[in-house]
Structure 1
Amino acid sequence: MTSLLSRFSPIPYFPPYKGPYEVGTLDIELPVSPFIDSGLSPPCPSHSDIPTVQFRLFYPAALKGQATADGSQSGATWIPSPRKEYVAAYCKFAGAGDFLANVLSYIPRHVYYIKLPVHPAHPILPESNAGDRFPVVIFSHGLAGTRNTYSYLTASLASHGAVVLCPEHRDGSAPASFIREPRHKSGLSELQKQNHPNHKGAENTPSLANVPDGVPRTPSSSGSDSEDDKNVNSNTCPLKTTGKSLNSKDEKQTIRRVDYISQPHEISTATATIRNKQLEIRLWELGVLFAVVKTLNSGLEGMDITDDFHVFPSATTNKTKNTNTKCPSTLQLLQMFKNRLDISTGGVTWMGHSFGGATITQFVKSCWYAPLFRQNGELKDPLYVPSDTLTRHFHPDGEIGERSRAPATVLLDTWCLPLLGDRTRALWKRRLPGPTLGILSFQFYKWKENLRGFRHVMSRKGGAFEEQWFGDAQDERNEQVTPSLPKLDRSSSMDVTPQLPTGFSHSDEAKLQSGEKDVVEEDEEENSLSLKRTASRVSQRSMPGQPDRRLYYATGSAHMSQSDFGVLFPRSARYFTKVDDSEGVLDLNVRALVEFMRERGLNMTPFAEGVERDREIFGEGVVKGWEVVSLELGEEGKAKKKVEEEKKIALVDGDVVKGRRGSTKL
């Protein structure tokens, strides 16, 4: 009956999760200083001052139907608080000016009441057997994402038995994010003091106020945790803040706002510098999240974070807006994860979408190859150096050896441009060490230049770093009049695709603009298509001593199909992105993710009830809407290689003709 009534409501709603468990959730922000002081995490990057980490936590809460039966509260708001500020931020991301964005934030009031079908602060699923632990997933969002943007995908994993942490990155990639200043900052307070423009000697210190335009930073403003507060004002000075009482008249707390920073997408040294600065923040936040997981599993042993630990109103068992966390109920919530998380290397799966996929790729490699780079000094200017605790998570002996166990990664529509800078070159050449599942939307599958880069990411041999990665497409674009090129319609906030960089060909962009379907596969004869699928599966076949690789795409899907927008706004998805079945696309993603984790022996329930193993999703048969992708470089790569060989031959011939000393005669 509830599902039927929701169809007539103007408020968008989520379809039910397919797993056998009800999903619990906590919305958490906590200071990072305890993790830094204990050595579980290095300090935050010097160009930014981020004293907290914020994330949404999903976990199995009860068997289906039992969570509401025990009288627990149901539903958490999808748009984070302060909701008006987030709606306005999305309007600005879609292209509206400040004034128009503020006006528009008052109009779609019904979206304020979108609820996640979860149970805030519900106890975790009771142990069925002694030592029963849940696998852990850490998920990194893409551009314009928040800790809630991928809730259907991540909460679906929780409904099958995983504990999922979804951080909200403070690198300027979220539409907006709010930092609640902790009272105790420990070593971070000195960093903030040094970064202040009025600090003596600031001219010799990387200052937040003097960083180049476009480099991510954390500007400050006052703010409130209530969506009804109308006094959230921007402040141009990065460190000047205004106190705002959240708990009582005697307790002041400053809130800083981090806005979305529009960055160029052309491949250049400046772009690489900007994206590297963002990656530094993102990688550091992922490292802190692992420290959080380790601490929760230990029952907060040795951690004094109660004064500044925030479990927000959407995650409390009552309707009060008091965030004072000294009450026993909050501590009990955190204690329920003690000894319930599988934090072995194989038990933690690293996952990301778009920019998040690039983040996960760089993070896993940074952690895995850290001992090697320490020995040979090959990595001169690393984006992230993991703590000893994190390094030993992968390498118990402190070095790459027999006891090392590579982590598993899941990469959704990975955006390769952030990985093409000089500072990422050394790790780009290294392969991802563990089993990897790549899932593309049809939109990214047709983006041939990015597909080529993604195949290098997925390669068992590592990526070949090309000096002119998009050289051919750059030359082609320069020959045309720039204003005549069609642009992807970005008039709707429904489209969370990164702006297409140089190298996205004119013809491919036109296909995306028109929403062209997968006509290549549809027009092919069945025999030809069968041979193509067979060749793709052969390229993915397991090899002795080599990590497993799986690469697929969902037909009729767009880049935003792996986020919540398609299932919440199906009509808009059909109109703007030509995606007819957003829920079906997401279910294929979840089905593949569940089986990928089950293949590795993790304690996950199957996607279909009563099925011991889902052999179809990765099998030899055909699953509707699901296509296997070859790991080979592809025809576009062969063409590029042929051009390079011809250029080399021409150069040698020229040397012979001109009689240059040291030339090689053919």
Structure 2
Amino acid sequence: MKAKVDPEPEPKPEPKPSQFPPGPSPTKAFRERMLHSLPSYSGPYPVGFMEIELPVREPRAFSHIKRNDEYALKLDTVLFSVFYPCDGDEKPSGRKKRGGGGDSVSRVPWLPRPRGRTAKGYAKFFSVPHLPLTAYFALTTMFTKIPVYRNARLSGRWPTTAEGGSNFAQDGGGAEKDDGNDERDGKPKFPVIMFSHGLGGSRTICSAVCGELASFGFVVVAMEHRDGSGARTYVNKTTHAPDLDSQDLDRTAEQQPKRWRDKAPRRRQRSRKTKPHYMVDYIFPKDNAMDTDPHNDRGVDTELRAAQIEMRLAEIEEAFHALELINAGKGAEVLARNLRKEGNVGSSCNGLIGVDFKNDWTESLYLHRVTMMGHSFGGATTVQALRTERFTWISQGILLDPWAGATPEESPEEEKRIQKPILSVGSEAFMFWKENFDRIEKICREARAAGALCWMTTIRGSTHLSMTDFAVLYPNWMSLLMKTIVNSKRAIYLTVHSALEFLEITLPPQQTRFNEAWADEQLLNRTSSETKVLFDHQPTEKYVAARLKIPNEFALRLRLWCRRSKDPSLPRDPSGKPLRGLLNWGAGEEIWVHLSPDEADVERYMLQNRSVLPVLHRHQRAID
């Protein structure tokens, strides 16, 4: 008799790069080449950009918290930027350059306008003198531009290979349609991601991540929260806006408008003396300014943070309502109400000139399976959005190094717990913050208990800012001060492609028909049992969550400086430049997987959501 031999486990597909060339980017000016610049995106689409500020439907204040005898959390308008796939246009018609005439490319500054005053806001946030910081911004990133086309046309084509081929219109055509309107005259419809920034952030602070996702076929709405969590932002007011400081928060919603009407003459008299805008700086918790510090004995200011999250959710709802209007063919209403136009503070002179909402944007978006995504405090916002019943249009969430201490505790009511898929992508520096790590794991297990898919991962060698633009603009400072080990551009790439793999599983096939143009990195195609977490770079208690430890750092840096030979095994950016970090790990070693669903659960979920066909096709292509 022959002895029974256990079959060898089936080898997993090898990672494969995308066969689609990157879309074009705007030409960089000479001063951008000399100073710090943002990298071009690697997806097959060029990226368009527009910024919108709209009065909210119900202006109101949140919480009784006051600063200078005024309510600190006031919702007058909502401001957001939209990163989206476009066709690219170096000479768009109808647009003008600030301070000059004639048509030209309108470049988007990375530092929000007014740039000098925004730099002062960052100085206040970091508690440093503003003159040195403003001067440093002026010398480095004051003139840095985001590699996007302002107000470009929404793309009406499918991605094409280097040979000019494209088969996307047929891929997935046999799948059942989600909403009865899968395409618009053969043009693609695009899935939507709502992005929430962290403390000290803005609508452009994570433009590298947002732009990368847009270049792969997503419309990404990057919020600018006015809840006192950003370094500095400006709110444009309308002439008929109510005086929110006259509100009595103890009154009911029905009583409130009458109070405003009673005070209308006084408000009109006051408005003649006030500016048509106001400034919102970062709000430090009273008597607990550093409530984000892991060594803070007083804990998190739950009253302030809970009120900020509630206001953030209201802002996200307002931005989504604007998308509904645009998608329903009512873009003219958005255009008429937009406050980010010439003459208003923080605005480009181009406003929304050149945007054709009616012909380009009508019925162009999938608004029924939206993804919520956020970094740091934005991750806490994402958790609460997934728990909140009224966000029925959000179907999954992506947490980028979330600050879990700011999230409310799990509700005893089952319907208020997370029941939607989650991907958490953390940094190694935050992984060593045990209280935060345990809180994230508890959130993930909350979702798993409800039967939702959940992944919890860590990017090796990364720190908290590795998922923001600061990492790619100031990589040397990140390496020297925060001891970031991974290449900054590679960290962004791993973040984005982890998200793409997650969305390929959790979104229906109609919304992932661009997946042939995505690189197949197999970042999530592992179980937690295969991960061996190392603690070589765990910092001392003093620097927990802030930085990593690099053993033999001087010798390592010297060896890296001396050995600059081209290593063919190193990953590369779209231009072919190797992405070298202080340490380089091979495929399958760059990400640690702490929690992951069983393969059977993933297959069951894909079958239930009718998204199994595109994913199986991708895996078959990788094996072949």
- TM category (shorter chain) comes to 0.5 to 0.7
- The separation in 2 between residues aligned to 1:146 and 1:262, in whole angstroms, is 17
Distance 1:203 1:283, change over 3 A: closer
Distance 1:330 1:17, change over 3 A: closer
Deviation at 1:157? Answer: 0.3
Query: Which residue of the partner structure matches residue 418 of structure 1?
Result: 406
Do 1:555 and 1:626's aligned partners in 2 also have CA atoms closer than 8 Å? yes
Deviation at 1:28? Answer: 1.3
Secondary structure in structure 2 of the residue aligned to 1:51 = strand
2:470 aligned with 1:565? yes
Q: 2:43 aligns with which of 19, 26, 31?
A: 19
- The separation in 2 between residues aligned to 1:254 and 1:182, in whole angstroms, is 7
Query: Which residue of the partner structure matches residue 589 of structure 1?
Result: 495
Which blocks of at least 5 consecutive residues in structure 2 are unaligned? 1-24, 65-72, 94-103, 159-168, 170-182, 253-266, 531-586, 598-624
Query: Which residue of the partner structure matches residue 338 of structure 2?
Result: 309
Do 2:422 and 2:454's aligned partners in 1 also have CA atoms closer than 8 Å? yes
Deviation at 1:9? Answer: 3.8
2:320 aligned with 1:290? yes
Q: 2:189 aligns with which of 133, 138, 154?
A: 133
Do 1:419 and 1:428's aligned partners in 2 also have CA atoms closer than 8 Å? no
Distance 1:313 1:358, change over 3 A: same
One-letter amino acid of the structure 1 residue matched with residue 308 of structure 2:
Q
Secondary structure in structure 1 of the residue aligned to 2:229 = coil
Query: Which residue of the partner structure matches residue 603 of structure 2?
Result: none
Do 2:422 and 2:444's aligned partners in 1 also have CA atoms closer than 8 Å? yes
- Spell out the pairing of 1:59-458 with structure 2 (5 A cutoff): 59-62=84-87, 66-68=88-90, 73=105, 75-96=107-128, 100-102=129-131, 104-110=133-139, 111-127=141-157, 130-131=183-184, 132-185=188-241, 189=242, 192=244, 194-195=246-247, 254-263=276-285, 264=288, 265=291, 266=296, 271-300=301-330, 304-312=333-341, 321=349, 329=353, 332-333=356-357, 336-344=360-368, 346=369, 348-367=370-389, 386=390, 391=392, 393=393, 407-420=395-408, 425-426=411-412, 431-458=417-444
Distance 1:173 1:67, change over 3 A: same
- The separation in 1 between residues aligned to 2:517 and 2:354, in whole angstroms, is 35
One-letter amino acid of the structure 2 residue matched with residue 180 of structure 1:
N
Query: Which residue of the partner structure matches residue 603 of structure 1?
Result: 511
Query: Which residue of the partner structure matches residue 572 of structure 2?
Result: none
Distance 1:240 1:114, change over 3 A: farther
Q: 2:595 aligns with which of 617, 625, 630?
A: 630
Moved more, 623-632 or 440-449: 623-632
- The separation in 2 between residues aligned to 1:73 and 1:159, in whole angstroms, is 19
- The separation in 2 between residues aligned to 1:314 and 1:588, in whole angstroms, is 40
Distance 1:449 1:602, change over 3 A: farther
Query: Which residue of the partner structure matches residue 78 of structure 2?
Result: 53
Deviation at 1:560? Answer: 0.4
Deviation at 1:360? Answer: 1.0
One-letter amino acid of the structure 1 residue matched with residue 283 of structure 2:
I
Query: What do residues 518-564 of structure 1 show as CA deviations (whole Å, max 9, x unaligned)?
Result: xxxxxxxxxxxxxxxxxxxxxxxxxxx82111111100000000110
Deviation at 1:108? Answer: 3.3
Query: What do residues 607-649 of structure 1 show as CA deviations (whole Å, max 9, x unaligned)?
Result: 88586x55454246952411111369xxxxxxxxxxxxxxxxx
Query: What do residues 347-383 of structure 1 show as CA deviations (whole Å, max 9, x unaligned)?
Result: x10011111111111122112xxxxxxxxxxxxxxxx
- The separation in 2 between residues aligned to 1:351 and 1:619, in whole angstroms, is 22
- The separation in 2 between residues aligned to 1:68 and 1:342, in whole angstroms, is 28
Identify, as 1 or 2, the structure richer in helix.
Answer: 1
Distance 1:434 1:108, change over 3 A: closer
- The separation in 2 between residues aligned to 1:407 and 1:18, in whole angstroms, is 26
- The separation in 2 between residues aligned to 1:412 and 1:254, in whole angstroms, is 36
Distance 1:616 1:606, change over 3 A: farther
Distance 1:419 1:240, change over 3 A: farther
- The separation in 1 between residues aligned to 2:144 and 2:525, in whole angstroms, is 35
- The separation in 2 between residues aligned to 1:136 and 1:610, in whole angstroms, is 17
Query: What do residues 325-358 of structure 1 show as CA deviations (whole Å, max 9, x unaligned)?
Result: 7xxx4663476321000011x2x10011111111
Secondary structure in structure 2 of the residue aligned to 1:136 = strand
The CA RMSD over aligned residues, in Å, is: 3.7
Distance 1:182 1:547, change over 3 A: same
* TM-score between both structures, scaled by the size of structure 2: 0.63
One-letter amino acid of the structure 2 residue matched with residue 120 of structure 1:
R
Do 1:160 and 1:605's aligned partners in 2 also have CA atoms closer than 8 Å? no
Distance 1:81 1:363, change over 3 A: same
One-letter amino acid of the structure 2 residue matched with residue 630 of structure 1:
L
- The separation in 2 between residues aligned to 1:135 and 1:203, in whole angstroms, is 38
Q: 1:578 aligns with which of 478, 483, 495?
A: 483
Secondary structure in structure 2 of the residue aligned to 1:299 = coil
Do 1:18 and 1:607's aligned partners in 2 also have CA atoms closer than 8 Å? no
Q: Percent identity?
A: 26
Deviation at 1:156? Answer: 0.4
Distance 1:413 1:89, change over 3 A: same
Secondary structure in structure 2 of the residue aligned to 1:68 = coil
Distance 1:618 1:43, change over 3 A: farther
Secondary structure in structure 2 of the residue aligned to 1:351 = strand
